[in-house]
Amino acid sequence: MTQPTSLSALNERIAAVNDVLNAASVLTWDSRTMMPEGGAETRGHQIATLTRVARDLLLAPETEKALEAAEQAVEGLSEDAAERRIVLQTRHAVEHHRRVPASLIQERAALRTVAQSAWIEGRSKSDFSIFAPHLAKTVELSRAYADCIGWTEHPYDAMVSIYEPGETAASLKALFAKLRTGILPILDAARSRPAPRSDFLFRDFPEEGQRAFGLTLAEKLGYDFGRGRLDTTVHPFEVSFTRNDVRITTRYSRNYLPASMFGTAHEVGHGLYEQGVDPAYTRTTLATDLVGLYGVGGTSFGAHESQSRLWENHIVRSPTFWRLHFPELQRHFPDQLGDVSAEGFYRAVTRVEPGFIRVEADELTYDLHIMLRVDIECALMDGSVPVSDLPGAWNAAIKRDLGLDVPNDSKGVLQDVHWSTGYIGSFPTYTIGNVMGAQVMETLRTQNPSLDGAIEAGEYSVLAQELRTRIWQHGRRFMRDELLERETGRRLDPAPYLAYLQGKYAQ
């Protein structure tokens, strides 16, 4: 990427914003992995201040001046030139933040603190009424926020635009209808078959062996530990502080082997995306979410999730992977897995078993959990379902889709942290990730005839190189659908995902 002098002032301003946002991410990572409990309150102040500082830097007169100069400078450039995108995206973010008053941001931040406490208490007591008033307030402030940002068809559109620009309530409804029609018959077929043996997954697996295998796994998939590290947290996540420092976490469940293994593979997928962004984009708008105020290099939440799902589900949750690597897992756990075959292991970890909890769901039922949440988020935003009716609506959907009776709200409407953080609108991105991952994978398999052979030989660098060239290196330069059109010839399309599920679960 060349840097015309006329862009250097803007790039310098944004580099500072990126620094501050990445600093906030370091503080968040530290608070979840290293911080002593006493530090929580002041750490909250520190992160809030950094976010406010980043926004102030973005809205400062100096940024506006640099932005106006840059807008003139890029006028002649082609529509998809990196420099032009820098300017367009910065302008978009500046206008976005100008529309949201600081008072509303403060109100949302203040709500988050009390809402999270209420959610934790409500969930532990399985009492929705403790959280309900805070959720009602969250909906109220989210509507105010949506009105600031602006929307035409549905207030939910404004919320989704933060995480997945381009998607709307209507586009998601259409996508989900197709997915539901495709998934339900595959699920029926899968459930009609006898469950495979899976008892061995629940044996005693000391953390040391799990960690050793996880580290090998991450390296095999191409994760660069010279620019990353793997730690342990209650809720696994990936976070980057530029492509040069991209960290992942996992959790070790001593009596359930798959948790850490597939969790690690998932976060490695996220990490590879961030580690693969073009170095020239470091500290620029093309590696910073200036709307969401987050130092991330991937282009949308859904695009990010596509990479984690691709590595987790298409690579690691495959018969090929375990045929190659199960012997190594057995070496770590000779007693626990001595009586298991690679094929038996694969069958066990891909068994279909509808349950109440989204984060424990199998591939076939996962999207049904998401659809339920998105339906509820839309209804909350347009007021068609009051907060008080949520548990009923939730439980009815679980009964309808999965045939299960939700025993209590902590296994139902109170299970996810998302709404307690004061945010609505990110749930669709999980399913978009599934769809996009399959679409990219299908294209790569078609266009690169040597890819399948490489994967079967355990040479994952061939896949990584394809993804780096087509997806990762572009950072946030292209929007998600633009990227898909460039690389797969079409916008988001559920067909490859349904074909993938069909192939995996309908035999």
> Which residues sit at the interface with a second copy, rule CB under 8 A?
15-16, 19-20, 22-24, 26-27, 30, 34-43, 45-46, 48-50, 52-53, 57, 224-229, 241-242, 244-245, 282-283
Residues 200/340, Cβ–Cβ less than 8 Å: yes
Active-site hit among 83, 164, 167, 267: 267
Min separation Cβ 60 and a second copy, Å: 10
Min separation Cβ 237 and a second copy, Å: 16
The H helix count followed by the E strand count for the chain is 21, 3
Min separation Cβ 284 and a second copy, Å: 12
Quick check: helix, strand or coil at residue 36? coil
- Which is closer to a second copy, CB of 240 or CB of 426? 240
Per-residue burial over 435-454, b = 16 or more CB atoms within 10 Å of its CB, e = otherwise: bbbbbbbbbbbeeeeebeeb
Across 203-302, the runs of DSSP E, i.e. the strands, are 228-232, 238-240, 246-250
Residue 232: beta bridge partners?
250
270 in a known ligand binding site = yes
Residues 395/412, Cβ–Cβ less than 8 Å: yes
- Residue 357 CB neighbours (<10 A): 12
Min separation Cβ 27 and a second copy, Å: 6
Min separation Cβ 30 and a second copy, Å: 6
Give CA angle at 290 (165, 286), nearest 5°: 85
- Which is closer to a second copy, CB of 23 or CB of 148? 23
For residues 5 and 63, give the distance between their C-alpha atoms in angstroms, rounded to a whole number: 15
For residues 128 and 131, give the distance between their C-alpha atoms in angstroms, rounded to a whole number: 5
- Residue 408 CB neighbours (<10 A): 16
266 in a known ligand binding site = yes
CA distances from 395 to 56, 62, 373 (A): 43, 52, 11
Residue owning tokens 């780096």: 468
- Which is closer to a second copy, CB of 26 or CB of 69? 26
Min separation Cβ 2 and a second copy, Å: 21
- Sheet of strand 228-232, all strands in order from the earlier edge strand to the far edge: 228-232, 246-250, 238-240
Min separation Cβ 221 and a second copy, Å: 17
Give how far the C-alpha of residue 483 lies from the chain's centroid of Cα atoms, to the nearest Å: 17
Quick check: helix, strand or coil at residue 205? coil
- Specify whether the backbone of 383 is left (phi greater than 0), alpha (psi in -120 to 50) or beta: left
Going by C-beta distance under 8 Å and a sequence separation of 6 or more, which residues neighbour residue 383?
none
Q: Tokens for 251, please give them.
A: 């959790």
- Which is closer to a second copy, CB of 28 or CB of 253? 28
- Which is closer to a second copy, CB of 154 or CB of 270? 270
- Which is closer to a second copy, CB of 30 or CB of 153? 30
* Known catalytic membership, residue 41: no
- Which is closer to a second copy, CB of 38 or CB of 338? 38
Q: Which residues are catalytic?
A: 267
Q: Binding site for Zn(2+), residues? A: 266, 270, 305
